Structure 1
Amino acid sequence: MTLGPVVWRIGATLVAPALAPYLRARTRRGKEIASRLHERRGEGAARQPGPLFWLHAASVGESLSALPVLEAMAERHAALRFLVTTGTVTAAELLGQRIPPWLAPRVAHRFSPLDVPAWVGRFLRDWRPDAGAFVESELWPNLLAAARQRGLGLALVNARMSARSARRWQRAPGLARAALDAFGLVLARSPADAERLAALGASDVRCWGDLKMAAPPLPADPAALAQLREAIGQRPVFLAASTHPGEEADAIAAHRALAPALGGLLTVIAPRHPARGPEIAAAAEAAGLPAARRSAGAAPGREIAIYVADTLGELGLFYRLAGAALIGGSLVPHGGQNPLEAARLGCPVLFGPHMENFEEPRARLLAAGGALALEAPAALAPALRDVLSDRDRARSLAEAAATVADGHAGLPGRVAEALLGLLPPDGPAETPLGRRAGP
């Protein structure tokens, strides 16, 4: 074993006592659930008899992109159950909303254990998954080392490795190689990601495409959509979707610049973290713009200029209503959110210079003429003016984007077949209590 994994293991063990106050602090900020903190210590297993596949997805985008794969696996293997671990409360809540009713009884959710050797060891010992997959870029050295020691077949799915992350991992090459060595199969989302992962030591790297390009359209409640359409009427609508701190101010400034020319303009701001709704509404009011919050039950009446969509799972509503959407996380150095969600619903797409997390969809959208790239926040208002005041321009953008967003329809099934191939050929050896025999 190289020095990096040893240092990481010792360091994680030493820091474990300080993690309790850390988790309590996160709970106060709404980032953890108090009654489920034990899951972060690897406790709370409830394994059922039969084969179990473990899927780990850190956050919202990862978990939702993998949901079609779980559905395809469940359709192909009637006895298979699933354990899904996530790292965020938001991902857990949205996953609960989006899992189809026929699949829900076969899926258990837990928050992922923190990367402390004793905690990840307990988690794997009690759950005893038969195989597993990590989505995108979750590389936890102690968890992966423990899985490898148990002989667990693992895949890294929709694998992502940005240039910035690759540079960080290159500072600890032994740790990177040890983490990646746990994966018998790596399915990269793009050729660039595949190249960077292989350079860090990943083996059997394949590039089949991006699962986010194969996702179904975001859902929308028909009754809620009808109510919003009635409230908005014929007003032009600008959506700032999944925004991060700093971008709301840009959206508010763009609204103030455009309102005189676009009569009745409604700007909808949907923050990536809904808990920030009150502060965004207050910022709009401070700028002299009447604001309302969806979480408070308010509607975007004629008198409202800024409507804060501070709820979970409703972006599908607003992409269907908007005449143009700014993709959040792209005007600030966050790396961008998924632009294909807007494109798939016929909403013209704009994004800023920071789209590192979605390099391939960005390039494809621009090559097809299906998006507008903004060099700086100051370019937002002029670009919106062009799209919202020119229906032909908006239609052209939406139609071009749809050609990109409709690809990769068969990818979830292909990935499902590969993941099912990781299961032991003879199935688990079950005891009466649903535990595999052996240590």
Structure 2
Amino acid sequence: MADFWARTALMLYRGVGSILYPFSGPFLRARARKGKEDRSRRAERYGYASWKRPEGPLVWLHAASVGESLAIMPLIKRMESFGINLVFTTGTVTSASIAEDRLSERTIHQYVPMDVKRAVRRFLDHWQPDLVIFAESEIWPMTISELAKRNVPQILVNARMSDRSNRRWQKRPALAQAIFGQLSQVIAQSETDGERFRSLGAPWVSVAGNLKTDVGVPQVDERVLAKIKSQIQDRPTWVSVSTHRGEEAIMGRVHRMVASHAPGLLTIIVPRHPDRSREVEEELQAQGLNVVTRSSGKSIGSHTDVFLGDTIGEMGLYLRLSEIAFMGKSLAAEGGQNPIEPAMTGAAILSGRYVQNFRETYQKLLDAGGARLVSDENMLASHVLHLLRKRSDLEMMRDAARETVDGMTGALERTTLSLDAYIMPLRVQVGLQQHKNRAASASNASGAAK
């Protein structure tokens, strides 16, 4: 009976997608007006390709947004070095922009097709991938089903399963088995993630760690960094990154509490979604705070209370403006944000208690003394002030955070090793094709000489 309901649910999903498909145009146009879709490339969302498929083996890799794209970039670079053709899809305009800046000519970027039968089939008919690699938590039932019908191996790398998602899937075990059971392999970030995927029916699960640990320190434009540091001068600073709705107001109140004891304090706030910039600015101004947004291009003055980081791709800049970093989605929202990047830059990590999505990473940082959890805004203000005042404690936390993350590297090598059984046959095909091409070139050259 459970299998029957699972099949019924998937049939309904397929049917609803087919019904809504003809009406997706207005939806995509509305998203384009908001800057969430590339107007000139909307056809890619219907599965129409913008490039010709290259000859030889091809791997399709997919990452939903900026964070996933950056995490999977080292794996893409590694596969490019094997000479394998790649098509890399993303789901957002911002991730597409970052991807295109960092990809070589061997990798073609496309927007991921809608998870609707007609769009997915059109995409697969054109690209005919030999292997598909999804990043982190991208589960699309129709895409997975269509790939399984074509016997294309599909692997989930850097895989994670949040508490909320796990609870939802556990309530639907037959449906989970019907979907996760079609994955050839899951390469999880942690033992907890791995066990969750196993319990949901994934047939082969291994644990490799978080690929973000092998991305390296976030990049920064040194000229921009020097310019903004000259504006800040020697003011005490702290940064709050990846904040969610409700947390920016908390950060504003924390600023006022700390500033009463640390004159000249500058608080840097980087919302998780920069398109909320105007909303956040108005919220902070309502508290009587002087706000300068990064996107405005205005300088940070002596009376500036908050520097609002509302740009994409500049996390490396914001993290280098302070040695104290609070991680959002942990006070007013739940789940937490990944602390690996700030730890890499040498920041002391502060966070709310709700960090279940990155539980094992935070536990390692807490055990080493590189992170501290706070229960409310008063406790956060107390910790910020303490670290601003006591340099020795700040340095201890910074060193511990950096050393902890350094000890977590190696995920790229472990992931590549796990993928070897799928990648090696493609590398052999590439080698044979290259040998054939060289032989043909030599034969042509010899004929021309005669």
Tell me if TM exceeds 0.5: yes
Indicate the residue corresponding to 2:61 in structure 1.
55
Aligned to 2:24: 19
Shift of 1:419: 3.0
Q: Which moved more, 1:136-145 or 1:205-214?
A: 205-214
Q: Which amino acid aligns with 2:38?
A: I
2:286 aligns with 286
The Cα of 1:241 is off from its aligned counterpart by: 0.8
1:434: which partner in 2?
none
Alignment match, 1:259: 259
CA separation in 2, counterparts of 1:169 and 1:266?
Answer: 43
Which residue of 2 is the match for residue 427 of structure 1? 429
Letter of the structure 2 residue corresponding to residue 69 of structure 1: L
SS of 1:354's equivalent in the other structure is: coil
- How far off is 1:129 after superposition? 1.4
Number of residue pairs the alignment of both structures matches: 424
Counterparts of residues 311-322 of structure 1 (less than 5 Å):
311-322=311-322
- CA radius of gyration, larger in: 2
1:100-142 deviation per Cα after TM superposition (whole angstroms, max 9, x unaligned): xxx5211211121111111111111111112121111111110
Tell whether the 8 Å contact from 1:3 to 1:174 is kept in structure 2 after alignment. Answer: no
**SS of 1:8 mapped into structure 2:** helix
Tell me the equivalent position of 2:12: 7
Secondary structure of the equivalent of 1:161? coil
> 1:185 and 1:112 mapped to 2: Cα distance?
21
- 5+ residue gaps, structure 2: 434-450
Task: Find the counterpart in structure 2 of residue 437 from structure 1.
Answer: none
Q: Name the SS of the counterpart of 1:303 in structure 2.
A: coil
Distance (Å, rounded) in 2 between the aligned partners of 1:182 and 1:67: 25
Matching residue of 2:437: none
Give the Å deviation of 1:420: 4.8
Q: Which whole-Å CA distance do the structure 2 matches of 1:353 and 1:24 have between them?
A: 40
Alpha-carbon offset, residue 45 of structure 1: 4.3
Q: CA deviation at 1:247?
A: 1.1
- Which residue among 33, 45, 48 is the counterpart of 2:38? 33
Give matches, 1:328-343, under 5 Å.
Answer: 328-343=328-343
Instruction: Give 1:433's aligned residue.
Output: none
| Partner residue, 1:70 | 76
1:88 corresponds, among 88, 92, 101, to 92
Q: Secondary structure at the match of 1:53?
A: strand
Q: Which moved more, 1:166-175 or 1:397-406?
A: 166-175
CA distance in 2: counterparts of 1:299 and 1:420, whole angstroms: 50
The one-letter code of the counterpart of 1:91 is: S
Q: 1:362 to 1:389 in 2, by over 3 A?
A: same
CA contact (8 A) 1:53 1:81 kept: yes
Aligned-residue offset at 1:368: 1.1
What does residue 444 of structure 2 align with? Answer: none
Is residue 145–residue 178 contact of structure 1 (8 Å, CA) maintained in 2? Answer: no
Task: Measure how far apart 1:267 and its partner are.
Answer: 0.8
Matches of residues 98-113 of structure 1 in structure 2 within 5 Å? 99=102, 103-113=103-113
Which aligned pairs between 1:336-415 and structure 2 lie closer than 5 A? 336-415=336-415
> Per-residue displacement from partner, 1:325-382 (whole Å, max 9, x unpaired)?
1112222324222111101111111111221221111111111111110122342211
Partners in 2 of 1:379 and 1:293 — Cα distance? 27
Amino acid at match of 2:93: V
**Deviation of 1:397 (Å):** 0.8
1:37-62 CA distance string (max 9 Å, x none): 22111112422223221111111111
Whether contact under 8 Å (2:209, 2:410) holds in the other structure is no
How much has 1:301 moved relative to structure 2?
A: 2.0
Q: Is the 8 A contact 2:285 2:291 kept in 1?
A: yes
| Match runs of 1:120-269 below 5 Å | 120-269=120-269
Q: Are residues 357 and 18 of structure 1, via their aligned partners in 2, closer, same or farther at CA, if it must alter by over 3 Å? A: farther
- Alpha-carbon distance between aligned partners in 2 of 1:108 and 1:408, rounded to the nearest angstrom: 31
How many Å separate the matches in 1 of 2:356 and 2:23? 33
> Do 1:73 and 1:417's aligned partners in 2 also have CA atoms closer than 8 Å?
no
Q: Could you say which residue in structure 1 is the equivalent of 2:441?
A: none
- The TM-score with structure 1 as length reference comes to 0.92
Task: Looking at secondary structure, tell me which structure has more helix per residue.
Answer: 2
Letter in 2 for 1:82: L
Give how far 1:180 is off.
1.4
CA distance in 2 between partners of 1:399 and 1:124 (Å): 48
Deviation track 1:244-285 (CA, whole Å, cap 9, x = no partner) reads 111111111111111121111011111122222222222222
CA distance in structure 1 between the partners assigned to 2:33 and 2:50 by the alignment: 25
Deviation, 1:214, is 2.8
* 1:70 and 1:416 in contact (8 A); partners too: no
> How many angstroms does 1:21 deviate by?
2.5
**Does the 8 A contact of 2:323 with 2:346 survive in 1?**
no
Cα pair 1:5 1:174 within 8 Å, conserved: no
Alpha-carbon contact 1:214-1:407 (below 8 Å) kept:
no
Counterpart residue identity of residue 10, structure 2: P
Matched residue of 2:401: which SS?
helix
Superposition deviation, residue 198 in structure 1 = 0.7
Instruction: Kindly provide the amino acid, as one letter, of the partner of residue 223 in structure 1.
Output: R
- Between stretches 316-325 and 117-126, larger displacement belongs to 316-325
- Aligned-partner residue type, residue 68 of structure 2: E
Identity %: 39
Q: 1:4: Cα distance to partner?
A: 2.9
Partner AA of 2:99 in structure 1: L
Distance in 2 between residues matched to 1:29 and 1:353, nearest whole Å:
34
Larger relative contact order, structure 1 or 2 (CA cutoff 8 Å, min sep 6)? 1
Contact 1:281 / 1:306 at 8 angstroms: preserved in 2? no
Q: Distance between the aligned counterparts of 2:254 and 2:200, measured in 1?
A: 42
